[in-house]
Each structure stands twice: as structure tokens, then as C-alpha cells.
Amino acid sequence: MLNYIIRRLLIGLVTLLGITFVTFLTIESAPGDIVELMLWERPDATEQDRQRLREALGLNDPMAVRYVKWVGKLVTLDFGESIKTGEPVTTMIRRHIWPTASVGIISLALAFLLSIPIGLYSAVHQGGIFDRVMSTNLYMLYSVPSYVIGMVLILYLGVKLDWFPIQGMHSDNYEELSLVGKFADQAHHYVLITICFTVGSLAYYSRFVRQNLLEVIQQDFIRTARAKGLSETRVIIHHAFRNTLIPFVSLMGLTLPFILSGSVILEHMFNWPGIGWLYMESVMSRDVNAIMGLNFMTAALVLICTLLADLAYGLVDPRISHD
């Protein structure tokens, strides 16, 4: 097990370096001059100003030298300073990660808690009214982009009915509220964006559980369990569902980092100050250090969660060995 973990970590490290290099190369290959972009609001800027800024940003060094310097700082998780604001990128990520992580965790928990009973009931009652209705609705929800659902929720529940706020994490008078009032205010703001994050995952997970359970039910060991006189509930829950849970755990591990890394479009729609919002702002301002830091964080999350999912796979299914 230890050798397997060490081997995966080494492979992950090489993968991370490859991802950062491709990201750095892509940014450097983009058209336009970052110095001109930063000075566009200063029409009186001289050539000396441009040269000083270029020197301060290290843009006079060759691309390979700048990349090596960036990797050298990476050892201490120093992503450098934001070119746009001058703030350390690590500080920016820490400030923006909780809004995204909180929505991601809530939506993932809701999708997990709702998709399992929906998938189980649909599989057990295959072809019934519940299965047909849920299958149709879930396929529709999964096929609709989350930003379209967000627009519908904003227009009807936010603007027309005025039931929920559509911008930010809290109201303008947030600091004046009591502790209970602050909690209620934030919960009110979380509703719409959480629904948008949850719908797609719920639809996919429910269909995944249903399809895998239907495949497991057809296997020989399920027929053997029924032949032994076990109740249908015990057969489904203790035998069929346990085998369905194995690929489901792996799926959850693979989707977790993408949920935690945020949705660029949704967070901008709701003016949600999360990682997705920060990523869009960084791209629009061509903030190289911020983009590199955010890409590194996302890639690291994917690799770590994939490793954890593989390890959990072995815990759920004793037949899987990582020796």
C-alpha cells in the first residue's frame, strides 16, 4: 500500500509539472502585451514606465527562466503576487476558496443523499410510474446547462417573485444583523446557486446508481441470495447496493475537485466571490501568477481526489489490492 501511494504521488508530481508548463506556455503564447493591458488606463505612460514595469514583472527574462523561477517558489507554495492587485496569490485563493467550497460541499451532500434513494427506488421499480417520471425529468435536467437553470431561477424566483436574492453572499446590512440573522441571511443567499450546482450532479448520480444497480441485480450472486430465501430488502441493500457503491465512490472522488474548484459562469452570474469568479477576473486581466496558482490548485485537487477515490475503492471492495 505504501509503495503504491508513493508511486502515485511521484506520478502526480510529474503530472503537475507538466500541467503548469502547458499552462505557462499557453499564457505566454496568447496575443497581446500584458504591460499594455496594465497601462491602458494611463495614456500618459512613457516608454520608461513600460520598461520599469516590464523589469519589475520579470518579463525581460526568457520564458524558460521565468518558468524555472516560478517552479522554485512553488516548493514553499508561493505563487507569487497578483499582477493586477499586487496581493499574494495564496492570500487571494484562501479568501475566495470558502465561498466555492461551501457551496460545493452542500451541493455534493444533497446530490449524494438524494440520488441514492432515487436511483435505488427507480431500479427496484423499473418501468413503473416513478421510474418513468424520474427518468424523463432527470434526463431533461442533465441535458440543460447549469447556467440556463441559473438564468431561469434568477428571472422567476429572484426577480419576478422576489423570493431569493440573486447577487452576493449576504445583504448590505449583514454586519448589523444578529448571529441568527446573519446565518439566515447567508442561507437565503445560498439557495439559488446551490440549486444550480446540485441539479446536474443529482441527475447524473441518480442515473448512475440506477443503471449500475440494474446490472448488479442480473448477476448470479444476487440470484443465489434470493434462492437462499433472503428478503428482497436485504438482497438489494446488503448485496446489490454494496456492489453498486464501489464505482459510485470512485465517481464521487473524480467529481469532487471540479465542484470545489467552482463554476466560472455560475459564480459570475450570481456575483459569488469564489474561485470561479476569481479565475474569470484573472483571465480577463491576464494575471499570469493568479492563473498559474489557480490551475495548480485545481490540478492538485484532481490528482489527490483521484488517489483518495482509488484507496477508498479498495476499502469498499476487499478484492481490490494496491500492494
pLDDT, position 67: 83
How much is the average pLDDT of 108-124? 86
Q: Is the pLDDT of residue 147 over 80?
A: yes
What is the overall mean pLDDT for the chain?
A: 80
Report yes or no: 198 and 107 within 8 Å, Cβ to Cβ: yes
How much is the average pLDDT of 290-306? 84
Give the rounded percent of residues in the chain with a pLDDT score beyond 70. Answer: 85
Report yes or no: 4 and 308 within 8 Å, Cβ to Cβ: no
Tell me the CA distances in angstroms from 314 to 65, 222, 256, one per residue in order.
43, 22, 18
pLDDT, position 44: 64
Report yes or no: 96 and 278 within 8 Å, Cβ to Cβ: yes
CA 97, CA 262: separation in Å to the nearest integer? 9
How much is the average pLDDT of 125-132? 84
CA 13, CA 256: separation in Å to the nearest integer? 20
pLDDT, position 33: 66
Beta bridge partners of 88: 81
Domains of the chain: 2-74 (no CATH), 97-316 (1.10.3720.10)
Tell me which DSSP letter residue 81 carries: B
CA 310, CA 229: separation in Å to the nearest integer? 34
Q: Is the pLDDT of residue 275 over 80?
A: yes
Tell me the CA distances in angstroms from 176 to 5, 171, 182, 191, 314, one per residue in order.
50, 10, 9, 22, 50
How much is the average pLDDT of 29-47? 67
pLDDT, position 231: 74
Q: Which of 198, 309, 297 is nearest to 253 (CA)?
A: 309
User: Which secondary-structure segment (H or E) carries 38?
Assistant: helix 34-38
pLDDT, position 314: 66
How much is the average pLDDT of 162-186? 84
Provide the 10 A C-beta neighbour count for residue 6: 10
